[in-house]
Structure 1
Amino acid sequence: MLESGSQEVVLNDISASTGVLLVDYLYSGNIDITQFNAQDLLAASEMLLLGALKKKAEDFLLSHTDSVNCISIINLARLYDLKILLADARNYLHEHVKEV
């Protein structure tokens, strides 16, 4: 690969802040997922085939579904094939349809 002889690797579609989180995660196994970075981390984990990180992001979103974001979470779950998250967000929507 071209990157093997390079001092620098460009990861298109990953922001600098997400890149820093990913490098820290890859070295430590720990990551701080927030409402502000969960979607970016989910996209990056899908792109880089980081299944454990994808699961962590899914778990985070499972515990942070609310009436403001449940439709967006349904769309994310569909996009990234997160069946548990999709079912949970749909259930939330059905139970809280008046709030949504």
Structure 2
Amino acid sequence: MMAWVSLVIAGLCEMAGVAMMNQYTHDRKLRSLLLLILAFGASFSFLSLAMETLPMGTAYAIWTGIGASGGAVIGMLFYGESKDWKRILFIAIVLSAAVGLKLVS
């Protein structure tokens, strides 16, 4: 159970890292850069903890799914990216696949 919690935290940190990467490209502030490094560092650390128990393929697929889907949602909510129903549908498919991997692992 702790491996799955670590994996979700890793995915959330990945989302924060992607958001900070976007922020840093806009403002070039040291604070954004430090938060970017911190978020990705935490993401990799929690991913490595999860991979002590979970299979690499499952952990990596779920981690990237959370990060990619979360990054897209953050872009829609905070950076004015398209909220087209097709984007939302495919984000839901990615998240469904991650849940499916959890169910079969």
Q: TM-score, normalised by structure 2?
A: 0.28
The structure number with the bigger radius of gyration is 1
